[in-house]
Amino acid sequence: MEVVKSVKRNVLLNPGPATTTDTVKYAQVVPDICPREKEFVAIMDEIRRELVKVVHGDPKKHTAVLFAGSGTVVQDVLVNSLVPENKKILVVNNGSYSARMVEIAQYYHIPCVDLKFPSTGRPDLKAVSQALDRDRDIAVVATTHHETGTGVLNPVREIGKMAHDHGCVFIADTISTYGLLPIDLEKENIDFCMSSAQKGLAAMTGVSWTVGRIDEIIKSKAYPTRSYYCNLFMQYDFFERVGEMHFTPPVQTIYALHQAIREYWQEGEMPRYERLNQCWEAVHKGIQEIGLKSVIDKTIQSKLVVTIKAPQDGKFDFFKLHDYCYERGFTIYPGKMFGLETFRLCNLGVITRKDIEDFFVVAKEAFRKMGYSIPIT
């Protein structure tokens, strides 16, 4: 991919969109093409096959179904499409993004068991098992693999096994782990995972997908039709018959995703994971040097998001910190924990340990300008 001119590089430490390469950016600059042409259909077909490979799916059992939109679109698709009539969905809810699946179910008037847990920890597996034992009308279990609002990594393998032991389909929201953490659908007991292009694959916002079981998609044809656009079987069926999205795809975004997948394989699954692990360690080193602490126990963190407790002394101003860093090429993100002032540092994109170290040079300057001595005591 030819890069005509380098694009100013910003280091995005927010939970998506992620920092991208220039080659992914320039992949969008292509001759105008109708998405119904065979050339474009061939690209879509290749992308679908590659997306299954990323999570070690079996092409005889699994398929990828793409939709135009962000990750919330594919959350909507799976929740509204996979629950049979007169059955329920159980959402294992320990954060903002699992709570969103509860909201989706409620908006569609799908019976939902909202099993809530504190956002600062993992779900109680015994409580999950008991909920499934109590209610035999539950047909689908859903949770997040990674609660991006806090950085908690959930035990999806164990939850998935419980779901299967009770005859349920298991949905894992892997939007912020797909292409970042090693995922094997069979080993993790996941029937349907999901993601969007601007997250782990470090492409552009505008396309999302699920990778899931073909047999369950076909079964869903007989379930209540709750949405026209966000209908899993309709989109799958159109891909299988025609090779295209049912409606107009985001053409240039698809080209960027195609290039990002190439770059994923060039780097490799485990080298990417190791690079991001080094970034995560550098984040912890940096906050320790400043005198700050993470909110979530390090042993249950995803190694992708760190939620940091802000100083509670009245001097701290997140927007001053954000703006100072933003003006110098670094983007940070506010926390998502009610009742506690926090901010988040995320390492989802094409960033390195040096990027994190360079960020903390700037962050320390910002804290000093707010009147702090480093380390903060």
Each residue's pLDDT tens digit, 352-370: 999 999 999 999 999 999 9
- With 70 as the cut, is the pLDDT of residue 2 above it? no
The candidate with the shortest Cα–Cα distance to 292, out of 173, 374, 184, is 374
pLDDT tens-place string over residues 206-215: 999 999 999 9
Residues 6+ apart with CB under 8 A from 207: 66, 67, 68, 69, 196, 197, 249, 250, 253, 254, 257
Rounded CA-CA distance 302/309 in Å is 17
How high is the pLDDT of residue 340? 84
How high is the pLDDT of residue 78? 98
Which amino acid is residue 33, in one-letter code?
I
Predicted model pTM: 0.96
Q: Is 277 exposed, middle or buried (0-12, 13-18, 19+ CB in 10 A)?
A: middle
How high is the pLDDT of residue 336? 77
How high is the pLDDT of residue 1? 65
pLDDT band at 377 (very low <50, low <70, confident <90, very high): confident
Q: Using CA atoms of 109, 115, 120, 121 in order, give the dihedral in degrees to the nearest 10.
A: -140
Average pLDDT over the chain reads: 96
Do 251 and 40 contact (CB within 8 A), yes or no? Answer: yes
How high is the pLDDT of residue 200? 96
Do 308 and 346 contact (CB within 8 A), yes or no? Answer: no
Do 174 and 195 contact (CB within 8 A), yes or no? Answer: yes
List, as one string, the DSSP characters of 1-43: ---SSPPPP-EE-SSSSPP--HHHHHTT------TTSHHHHHH
Rounded CA-CA distance 217/222 in Å is 10
pLDDT tens-place string over residues 136-176: 999 999 999 999 999 999 999 999 999 999 999 999 999 99
Bridge pairing between strands 11-12 and 330-331: parallel
Residues of the chain with CATH 3.90.1150.10: 269-369
- Phi/psi for 338 (5° steps) reads -70, 135
How high is the pLDDT of residue 285? 98
- With 90 as the cut, is the pLDDT of residue 337 above it? no
C-alpha 5: how far from chain center: 30
Do 196 and 54 contact (CB within 8 A), yes or no? Answer: no
Architecture category of domain 22-265 in CATH: 3-Layer(aba) Sandwich (3.40)
Residues of the chain with CATH 3.40.640.10: 22-265
- With 80 as the cut, is the pLDDT of residue 4 above it? no
- With 80 as the cut, is the pLDDT of residue 183 above it? yes
How high is the pLDDT of residue 199? 96
How high is the pLDDT of residue 206? 97
Rounded CA-CA distance 361/15 in Å is 21
For the ranges 4-13, 103-112, 275-284, 319-328, which has the lowest average pLDDT?
4-13
Q: Hunting for tokens 């700050």 — which residue is that?
A: 292
State the average pLDDT over residues 181-199: 98
How high is the pLDDT of residue 274? 97
Q: What is the CATH number of domain 269-369?
A: 3.90.1150.10
